[in-house]
Amino acid sequence: MSNVEQDPAELRCGGVTTAAEPEAELLEPRTVPLGGPRAMMVGRTLPNRDRRMVGAWCFADFYGPADIAGQPGMQVPPHPHTGLQTVSWLLDGEVLHRDSLGNEQLVRPGELNLMTAGRGISHSEESPAGHGPVLHGAQLWVALPGEQRDVAPHFEHHGDLPVEVSPEGSVTVLMGELAGAVSPARTYTPLMGAEVSISAGRELRLPLEADFEHAVLAMSDDLSVDGRPVGVGEMLYLGRGRGQVELGSDGPGRALLLGGVPFEEQIVMWWNFVGRSHEEVAQAREDWERGRTSGAPDGRFGVVHGYAEPALAAPALPNAELRARGRTRKPS
């Protein structure tokens, strides 16, 4: 999924000392459009003004449940990425992925689409023809560490993820490991991501890695985390040093549990790029625009075939004053 904001800030993320003690910090989403005149609206909790990352997780969008009956639904034209992994997860509906490596994959609920951008890739995402009436899901990014940020781009689709079931609910491990269940998805830093489903009126207790920082993204109403209410689309940052977390719900509840070792490197995020400096993301923008306007299939980002509309043009880079504002962050 793309960050299609027309005036995206250049943000400095990571490289911030994280307290070793547990915290409880509520991150409220901001609403942003996903696309042009036919845009869906999504709630973005990462990067947040008060908290830019959770481990290597650096971007989190939550959308739906959206009624898209008779509507285009998700329509994100070809766009580039560098230095990150995109994690696509659906609760309802379907999304068609195409990328410049020639992959075409329909993702459905319970299936993981994982695209590693590395030195550069482009892709599109759309609700396919004949799509269902509802679209509901999340899109996340994982920042790649410095030594792997220029790896060759590649794509994974996992339709058979480990699921742990109990009377209290179930846990599907998207990435990393939780409670002994290990995802087959490739990771580059110590992290985990899981969907948690809670049975109505029950509480589900999960073990946590004390060295990780964690957060819970609520994907349904009536959710509580360690007894604290968390509204749908909100994220509760839990800090480090926790050995467990308890999720409860009055009705059937769903949430994403994210965690990872604090990301010690400072990164620069702008538009759909993750780099280490302004110059690096500026070069990525220049490379994308050169390839986009020429249609060169042998360029850094390649060409996505099959999408009906032109690729996204990159917005203008922020000036020095706006870049300076993006460097500020509330201390942890």
> Does the annotation list 79 as a binding residue?
yes
Peptide bond into 33 cis (omega under 30): no
> Does the annotation list 125 as a binding residue?
yes
Q: DSSP character for 320? A: H
CA distances from 210 to 19, 181, 205, 207, 260 (A): 12, 17, 15, 9, 10
Give backbone dihedrals phi and psi of 147, rounded to 5 degrees, phi first.
-75, -15
> Does the annotation list 10 as a binding residue?
no
Element housing 282 (H / E) = helix 278-294
**C-alpha span between 154 and 105 (Å, rounded):** 13
Bridge partner list, 239: 22, 214
Terminal alpha carbon distance of the chain = 28
Bridge partner list, 289: none
Q: Which residues contact 156 (CB under 8 A, 6 or more apart)?
A: 112, 113, 114, 115, 116, 185, 186
Least Cα distance to 280 among 150, 145, 152, 188 occurs for 150
Say which residue the tokens 């009536």 belong to: 222
Q: Which residues contact 38 (CB under 8 A, 6 or more apart)?
A: 71, 72, 75
Instruction: Could you list the residues known to form a binding site, using ranges.
Output: 79, 81, 123, 125
Q: Which amino acids are annotated as binding site for Fe cation, given as ranges?
A: 79, 81, 123, 125
